[in-house]
Amino acid sequence: QVQLVQSGAEVKKPGASVRVSCKVSGYSLSDVSMHWVRQAPGKGLEWMGGFDLDDAETVYAREFQGRVTMTEDTSTNTAYMELRSLRSEDTAVYFCASAVEFSSYLDVWGQGTTVTVSS
């Protein structure tokens, strides 16, 4: 069964970093393009970035460049998203989602990880 299972909720102070994990089961992480999407409370979906299989590089949304790093550990079939210099506006649910290729639909989603940034 194809599944993405994310790590648990986090509470962080402004200026801190957070790392969210996304464990893949049912297929190999190296065979898909993994993306990250976030959703602030009561707001819409915001694409943060994803891995381009063809170019073997991660593409980040301009808004997050320099502050986010997305990595993959193929030995454990786990993807990670680290967001640094957190501010209150980063309070959101963070989703991982996979696609068969970079410019494609997101057909498998993790359950979401709530990140709360508060002093």
Judged by the rule CB under 8 A, the positions of this chain that interact with other proteins are 35, 37, 44-47, 50, 59, 61-62, 95, 97, 99, 103-107, 109-112
Q: How far is the CB of 16 from other proteins (least distance, A)?
A: 25
- Looking at the Cβ atoms of 81 and 106, the one nearer to other proteins is 106
Q: How far is the CB of 75 from other proteins (least distance, A)?
A: 26
- Looking at the Cβ atoms of 78 and 113, the one nearer to other proteins is 113
Q: What is the DSSP string of the chain?
A: --EEEE---EEE-TT--EEEEEEEESS-GGGSEEEEEEE-TT--EEEEEEEETTTTEEEE-GGGTTTEEEEEETTTTEEEEEE-S--GGG-EEEEEEEESSTTS---EE---EEEEE--
Q: How far is the CB of 58 from other proteins (least distance, A)?
A: 11
Q: How far is the CB of 53 from other proteins (least distance, A)?
A: 14
Residue 105 CA to residue 42 CA, distance in Å, equals 23
- Looking at the Cβ atoms of 73 and 107, the one nearer to other proteins is 107
